[in-house]
Amino acid sequence: MAKKEKNYHLKIPSRTDDLEVIRDFVASVAKKVGFDGDEVNKIELAVDEACTNVIEHAYQYDVKKNIDIAIKIDYNRFTVVVTDRGKGFNMQDVELPDMKSYLAEIRVGGLGIYLMKQLMDEVDYHSEPGVKNEVRMVKYFLKDGKKKGKSNKK
Amino acid sequence: MSEFHVKRKDLTTVSIIYLNGYLDAHTAPDFEKALQELVDQERVNIVVNLSELTYISSAGLGVFMGFIENIRDKGGDIKLAEPTEKVYRVFDLLGFPVLYEVFKKEEEAINKYQTS
């Protein structure tokens, strides 16, 4: 299904108190463009995880900083870009938990990126040190207009 | 705006925590505090009733992970009861059902302590 390009943008203070506002924003756009409830839940959670990482790690709870959330809808995909201007990190360097050893060792934390990759079709990270960091997450529409189920991409 | 509440009910040997609303990085400290109080009071047979929990992120999941080892070392457990389908899916994605017993009914979780 070809979708006309649309852009949505939210600039919001870096506070955990506003994670709910971020989720409501992302979920309402995802619902509006036709994702079913399960897919809306996944997108909402993935964006929460990305923004929680920004609040905790990039900005280290500095509420004077802002997070930018841009959603772009085009013909076959829903793209969310979360941008911060804080301390960067290289996503490639973050070790994804191996779930077996994770369960065995009962490790705490570090689940956000793992969840984002499970929930979205594509997740990538781009950092310009000292300028900005971007996490880009994509969920595809199917060509016949139905939405995808769980992605096979890992 | 939805909110988050933690309520607690103590039975003879089992304590039940009721989570209501959304559990994310903002509200996780409230849940953490409730669990810490139980541990401090040596009430480690815990059931967390999730029937009114509308949302959970990794910050909330991390609280469960942060306490389970200590609670089991003390001879207790955290058992989960009555999750909604939405919340259960997130638990499932992270393999929690392997690590935590999940019950459809709160009474089943309570009974498990009394029979074990």
Q: What is the CATH number of the domain that holds B105?
A: 3.30.750.24
Q: Determine the Cα–Cα distance for residues B51 and B24; give it in Å rounded to an integer.
A: 16
- CB-based contacts of B11, cutoff 8 Å, min separation 6: B110
- Give the CATH number for residue A106: 3.30.565.10
CB-based contact B26 A16, cutoff 8 Å: yes
Is A29 exposed, middle or buried (CB count within 10 Å of its CB: 0-12, 13-18, 19+)? buried
CB-based contact A111 B98, cutoff 8 Å: no
Domain ranges, residue A63: 6-140
CB-based contact A41 B86, cutoff 8 Å: yes
**A111: in domain:** yes
Q: What are phi and psi of A124, to 5 degrees?
A: -140, 165
User: pLDDT, tens digit, for every residue of B85-106?
Assistant: 999 999 999 888 989 999 999 9
The nearest CA of chain B is from the CA of A151 a distance in Å of 13
CB-based contact B25 A55, cutoff 8 Å: yes
**A146: in domain:** no
Q: Is A111 on the interface with B (CB under 8 A)?
A: yes
Q: Among residues B25, B82, B78, B79, which one has the least CA distance to residue B52?
A: B82
CB-based contact A106 B58, cutoff 8 Å: no
User: pLDDT, tens digit, for every residue of A27-80?
Assistant: 999 999 999 999 999 999 999 999 999 998 889 899 999 999 999 999 899 999
**A95: in domain:** yes
Q: Determine the Cα–Cα distance for residues A50 and A99; give it in Å rounded to an integer.
A: 20
pLDDT given at position A105: 55
Higher pLDDT, A109 or B36: B36
Question: Given A17, A111, A119, which is nearest B61 (Cβ)?
Answer: A111
pLDDT given at position A92: 60
Number of domains forming the structure of chain B? 1
**A135: in domain:** yes
Domain ranges, residue B63: 4-115
Q: Is A148 on the interface with B (CB under 8 A)?
A: no
pLDDT at A95 over 60: yes
- What angle, 0 to 180 degrees and rounded to 10, lies between the N-to-C axes of helices A37-53 and A19-32? 150
Which residues of chain B approach chain A closer than 8 Å at the C-beta? 1-2, 22, 24-26, 55, 57-59, 61-62, 65-66, 68-69, 86, 89-90, 93-95, 98-99
ipTM entry? 0.91
> What is the chain A residue with the closest CA to B26?
A16
Q: Determine the Cα–Cα distance for residues B29 and B12; give it in Å rounded to an integer.
A: 26
What number of C-beta contacts closer than 8 Å exist between A and B? 62
Number of domains forming the structure of chain A? 1
Structure tokens at B109: 């979780």
The nearest CA of chain A is from the CA of B112 a distance in Å of 22
CB-based contact A23 B93, cutoff 8 Å: no
**A10: in domain:** yes
The Cα-based distances of A13 to A22, A59, A65, A67 in angstroms read 10, 11, 6, 6
Question: Which alpha helices (DSSP H) does B1-116 contain, by range?
Answer: 28-40, 58-73, 85-93, 96-99, 106-115
pLDDT given at position B43: 98
- According to DSSP, the residues that pair with A9 across neighbouring strands are A70
pLDDT given at position A62: 92
The mean pLDDT value for B22-38 works out to 97
